[in-house]
Structure 1
Amino acid sequence: MSKKGILLVNLGSPKSTKVEDVKEYLDEFLMDEKVIDYRWFFRTLLVRGIILNTRPKKSAAAYETVWTEEGSPLIFITERIQKKLQKLVDVPVEIGMRYAEPSIETGIRKLTEQGVTEVVLFPLYPQYAMSTTETVVEKAEDVRKKHFPNIKINYVQPFYNREIYIDCLAESIREKLPETFDALQFSYHGVPERHIFKTDPTKTCNLNDCCSRDSNPSHQFCYRHQCFKVTEEVIKKLNLPKEKVLVTFQSRLGNDKWMEPYTDETLENLGKKGIKNLAIVCPAFVSDCLETLEEISVEGKEQFMHGGGENYHYIPCLNDEDRWIEVVKTLCEERLHEFYLV
């Protein structure tokens, strides 16, 4: 009899806030060709010749602002999700990170040590992107072929358009919205525009009206479309007027053209446009991390206030909310059931 198991996969984090640990983490992260998609020589020149000589110290200082006694927020929140999920399912549940430890290999090994031969692997990203879902699947397949050739892996697909997720996200936002706000800003992690074109199998993307078409075969691979779709469905659930909602993209790196509008530039200009009371949420993340707790909650507030804003309210991610654990359970059990049908 085959034994099933679940592996929850998130981005990863440095093992500490020491500059050398942050540098090691950034090296693995930024040298991933799905993240910085230059040819190896130019990627190495950029990452190891420039970025790693300047960025680790700054990033280490940023990590120190969000680090807790439990360690990295992203890691311990993922661990909490794992523990809560384990109480709801009758198969082993482990976690793995795309970068650093516990790695995907470590997570799969822990499952195989419990006799697991069929793994449901859940990339904890609502939307599909080359630098998230795609790199997780590619890495997991490499690990499987190299170290665990006899196991089977079934992947949970991006769930940006699943009603159970939209309901969960909308209710979470509804409960945390301030009574009075002029606008609700949805800030998604940005990607270079070329990534959108690279993942489009139809080669018809124009980064314009194609995202809003009702039916388009590229939608299942288009991060931009999926971000707008999440926003559209959530504001329907919240019954908010479109003119009260903003969509922006954060965390850009380097001088390449990234998806627009940019979160930081938008925050700096909102006050001048009469937006004094702002709520902001980051639906590209299910777990709070450096990009939400420091970049948006702290830096974003400074940018908004400096531009003339008055009240700034960051809405936390789903984290380990019970309703979100139920969504994770449902999505995993669908894939577990497919194993039984084979």
Structure 2
Amino acid sequence: MKTAILLLNVGSPDAPTVPAVRRYLTQFLNDKRVIDLPWLLRKFLVNAIIIPFRVKNSTKLYLRLWTKKGSPLIFLTEELREKLEQKQKDGDKVFAAMRYGNPSIKKALKEIKSEGFEKIILVPLFPQHAMSTTETAVTAAEKRIKKLGIKAEVKSVEQFYDHPKFLESFVKQGQKYDLSKYDHVIFSYHGLPNRHIEKCHPGINLAVCNCTTAGIPEHGKKCYRATSYETSRLLAKQLNLKPEDYTVSYQSRLSKNWLTPFTDVTLDEKLKEGKKKILVFAPSFVTDCLETTLEIGVEYGDEFYKNGGEKLQLVESLNAEDHWVEALNEIIKDQTTA
């Protein structure tokens, strides 16, 4: 079957300007799977409070992130798309779209429809499932497919946090550094509100759930906290790290009622323990972006050094590395050929 592979990532503003950032934040934060409050409350909170107070600061951050090629998230995803397409058989094609902003899902699917593909494979580029990433991206694509009247067979790649090739790719990134020269390793994941976990898994008690130590719990394999800890355990095993050698933490929080421990707090705690050289992996991101390059590499780094740290090194994400292209191609085949 003539197949279209659609890579789905989060997105970025079109430019590091206040109007562009406002448009992006408006689309992003009004998503009910991102801020899961009642419609009226969400609209008021997002459009009357959050965006007016955040847009200028967010614009300054994007200005620091921007390169001559534009937003790293966009051009790195495009590089990945180009390389992945070279791996496909004749007639198959790879597209890339952002859940928020451009290139849009609508534009990509219109092109897919016009070229008459018989099969569409949706590939959300999020290793661990969350309703604010994987779920919203796939749902948006499926709705647009239906609205456009596309009759192709549709399949989706699920989370791939435990796929051997994904793990191998991150290990290769980490092996660019001599782990013996660092006092500690942190696996930092994008944070989520606790209520997201509780909403996806009714009845769960995060205070007593043992998913942080005992693997994937009974309440399901799509628990973001469980899969992030499992990702870390699997990576640590391949990196020959003992449990005391690494810590799992969460970044980008908006309130204290988000998944803990927080990455910035963890860095402070490790410093107090005398661990002044720390290597940081960010295994919930396959593409470097604001949260990796700037939040960890610059903001956390500045604070770390100010408090007496000697070395804070971010392990680059998978981006468009050749080994990641090979890995992703195999992940897609493994999950969609059955």
Task: State the partner residue of 2:263.
Answer: 263
Q: Distance in 2 between matches of 1:131 and 1:104?
A: 16
What TM-score results when the alignment is normalised by the length of structure 1?
0.94
Task: State the partner residue of 1:206.
Answer: 206
CA 1:323–1:61 in 2, change beyond 3 Å: closer, same or farther? same
1:265 alignment partner, SS class = helix
The letter of the residue matching 2:329 is K
The letter of the residue matching 1:12 is G
Cα deviation 1:145-198 (Å, max 9, x = unaligned): 111342232000100111221122122212234550000111100000111111
1:280 alignment partner, SS class = strand
Q: Structure 1 residue 162 and structure 2 residue 163: aligned? A: yes
Task: State the partner residue of 1:327.
Answer: 327
2:187 alignment partner, SS class = strand
CA 1:205–1:17 in 2, change beyond 3 Å: closer, same or farther? same
CA 1:24–1:308 in 2, change beyond 3 Å: closer, same or farther? same
The letter of the residue matching 1:17 is P
Q: Structure 1 residue 150 and structure 2 residue 165: aligned? A: no
Q: Distance in 1 between matches of 2:274 and 2:156?
A: 45
The letter of the residue matching 1:76 is F
1:294 alignment partner, SS class = helix
Task: State the partner residue of 1:68.
Answer: 67
CA 1:41–1:4 in 2, change beyond 3 Å: closer, same or farther? same
Task: State the partner residue of 2:250.
Answer: 249
Q: Distance in 1 between matches of 2:149 and 2:70?
A: 30
Contact 2:6 2:122 in 1 (8 A): yes
Q: Distance in 2 between matches of 1:154 and 1:218?
A: 25
The letter of the residue matching 1:221 is K
The letter of the residue matching 1:284 is S
Contact 2:215 2:230 in 1 (8 A): no
Q: Which runs of 5+ in 2 are unaligned?
A: none
Contact 2:281 2:314 in 1 (8 A): yes
The letter of the residue matching 1:286 is V
Q: CA deviation at 1:204?
A: 3.7
Q: How does 1:278-297 map to 2 (within 5 A)?
A: 278-297=278-297
CA 1:241–1:174 in 2, change beyond 3 Å: closer, same or farther? same
Q: CA deviation at 1:260?
A: 0.3
Task: State the partner residue of 2:84.
Answer: 85
Q: Distance in 2 between matches of 1:142 and 1:129?
A: 18
Contact 2:215 2:226 in 1 (8 A): no
Contact 2:165 2:331 in 1 (8 A): no
Between the two proteins, the alignment pairs up a number of residues equal to 335
Contact 2:158 2:335 in 1 (8 A): no
Q: Distance in 2 between matches of 1:13 and 1:147?
A: 24
The letter of the residue matching 2:296 is I
1:219 alignment partner, SS class = coil
Contact 1:127 1:223 in 2 (8 A): yes
What TM-score results when the alignment is normalised by the length of structure 2?
0.95
2:32 alignment partner, SS class = coil
Q: CA deviation at 1:335?
A: 4.5
CA 1:109–1:223 in 2, change beyond 3 Å: closer, same or farther? same
Q: Distance in 2 between matches of 1:214 and 1:64?
A: 40
Contact 2:281 2:315 in 1 (8 A): yes
Q: Distance in 2 between matches of 1:276 and 1:247?
A: 17
Q: Distance in 2 between matches of 1:213 and 1:242?
A: 13
Cα deviation 1:245-300 (Å, max 9, x = unaligned): 011100012x3500001112222332222111111111110000011111010001
The two structures, once aligned, show a CA RMSD in angstroms of: 1.6
Q: How does 1:111-122 map to 2 (within 5 A)?
A: 111-122=112-123
Q: How does 1:1-342 map to 2 (within 5 A)?
A: 2-90=1-89, 91-177=92-178, 179-200=180-201, 203-211=203-211, 212-214=213-215, 216-253=217-254, 255=255, 257-338=257-338
Q: Distance in 1 between matches of 2:104 and 2:174?
A: 31
- State which drifts further: 91-100 or 175-184: 175-184
Contact 1:276 1:311 in 2 (8 A): yes
Q: Distance in 1 between matches of 2:205 and 2:5?
A: 35
Contact 2:163 2:331 in 1 (8 A): no
The letter of the residue matching 2:229 is F
Q: CA deviation at 1:140?
A: 1.2
- State which drifts further: 204-213 or 259-268: 204-213
- State which drifts further: 164-173 or 39-48: 164-173
Q: Distance in 1 between matches of 2:268 and 2:182?
A: 17
Q: Distance in 2 between matches of 1:173 and 1:52?
A: 36
Contact 1:269 1:307 in 2 (8 A): no
Instruction: Report the identity percentage.
Output: 37
CA 1:7–1:207 in 2, change beyond 3 Å: closer, same or farther? farther
Q: Distance in 2 between matches of 1:178 and 1:236?
A: 13
2:210 alignment partner, SS class = helix
Q: Which runs of 5+ in 1 are unaligned?
A: none
Q: Distance in 2 between matches of 1:59 and 1:37?
A: 22
2:155 alignment partner, SS class = strand
